[in-house]
Amino acid sequence: MKSLKVLALFFAGLAALLLAGCALLPSATPLKVLLVTGQSNKYHDWTKSSPLVKQYLEQTGRFTVDVTTTPPMGQDMSGFKPDFTKYKAVVMVYEGDEWPAATKAAFVEYMKKGGGLVSIHDADNAFPYWPEWNEMIGVGGWGLKPDGSMGARTNGSGPKIRWRDGKQVLDDSPGTAGHPARSDFLVVTRAPGHPIMQGLPAEWLHASDEIYSQLRGPARNVVVLATAMPDKVKYPKSSGENEPMLMTITYGQGRIFHTTLGHVGPKESAPYPALSCAGFIVTLQRGTEWAATGKVTQPVPADFPTAEKTSLRVATGN
Ligand SMILES: [Zn+2]
């Protein structure tokens, strides 16, 4: 009898220990993410935006972020060959020199086999002559020409994506990338059932950013998650259309989250309002998890902006 009692006590103790152990474990193993950065055109500054992007992802507890920095613009890129296969998602804060052909091929292979990509603001300018990149981001703009001037993406780069009469349509009319002056603007949810968007407000005010407009590209396998419309009265040269701000794209088995938001200029000093907007931060965090896993487990925080009011967090980057 006594030994039975001891045995029962032993198992009760073991169960208690296991329960306590479970409570201490994180809800899920962090997802490994690679942030690729190191070059900006003259309008952006990766040294300011990249540390914040890393910080935003890591503060969720959902990700660990390795950073790979390319050589500076114009330097030898032949040694740039990160092992993408170690990561659940690759986050791009990069617009610069072409990668070596083998690195590009490895990235295409990684994506086709189910990799994840997050393309942030600056990266809309990247790789205008790389067809697979254009497929992955759906639509892009500007882009450096071989002579160093902007405007590699032209009317021939593919259609624009529009939101008209309650649905997503393609538009082949002329017009290449541009944006009105920075301002606060309303971001409108267009896919409320998508995992990235579930629980977000139907409309929210984003802080001091550029409404990327007239982006063009193959525009295949794109789902528009949210749009914004430049004010045609205030900015007569703007498109006056619902421009895609947040998108997902599928490429082979791969998933892409594309945010056009997140401008930081070279002369800007902290705080950086576009990057400090809780709306930018939360959609980046959720979009990265979706790109990595196809699901989103993060709750929507209480400080998410509303349709009436922007919501800024304190940026502590350099
Ligand atoms: Zn910008």
Q: What is the CA(140)–ligand 1 centre distance, in A? A: 13
The answer, as to whether pTM is greater than 0.85, is: yes
Task: Tell me whether strands 31-37 and 89-93 are parallel, antiparallel or unpaired.
Answer: parallel
Q: For 63-122, how does the pLDDT look when each residue is reduced to its tens digit (9 = 90+)?
A: 999 999 999 999 999 999 999 999 999 999 999 999 999 999 999 999 999 999 999 999
Domain ranges of the chain: 32-293
**Residues within 5 Å of ion ligand 1, judged at the Cβ atom:** 210, 263
Q: What is the CA(10)–ligand 1 centre distance, in A? A: 63
Query: Both ends of the chain: CA-CA distance in Å?
Result: 68
CB atoms within 10 A of CB 220: 14
Q: How far is CA 36 from the centre of its chain?
A: 12
Q: What is the CA(143)–ligand 1 centre distance, in A? A: 12
Helical H segments across 59-164, by residue range = 101-112, 131-137
Give the span between the Cα atoms of 169 and 187, in whole angstroms.
Answer: 18
The CATH superfamily label for domain 32-293 reads Class I glutamine amidotransferase (GATase) domain (3.40.50.880)
User: Could you tell me the two tokens for 52?
Assistant: 């914040």
Q: For 142-168, how does the pLDDT look when each residue is reduced to its tens digit (9 = 90+)?
A: 999 989 899 999 999 999 999 999 999
Q: What is the CA(194)–ligand 1 centre distance, in A? A: 26
Q: What is the CA(15)–ligand 1 centre distance, in A? A: 55
- Tallying the residues shown for the chain, one arrives at 318
Q: What is the CA(71)–ligand 1 centre distance, in A? A: 22
Q: For 118-131, how does the pLDDT look when each residue is reduced to its tens digit (9 = 90+)?
A: 999 999 999 999 99
Q: What is the CA(292)–ligand 1 centre distance, in A? A: 25
Q: For 198-256, how does the pLDDT look when each residue is reduced to its tens digit (9 = 90+)?
A: 999 999 999 999 999 999 999 999 999 999 999 999 999 999 999 999 999 999 999 99
Q: What is the CA(43)–ligand 1 centre distance, in A? A: 6
Question: What single-letter DSSP state applies at residue 224?
Answer: E
Q: Compute the C-alpha angle 72/74/79, nearest 5°.
A: 65
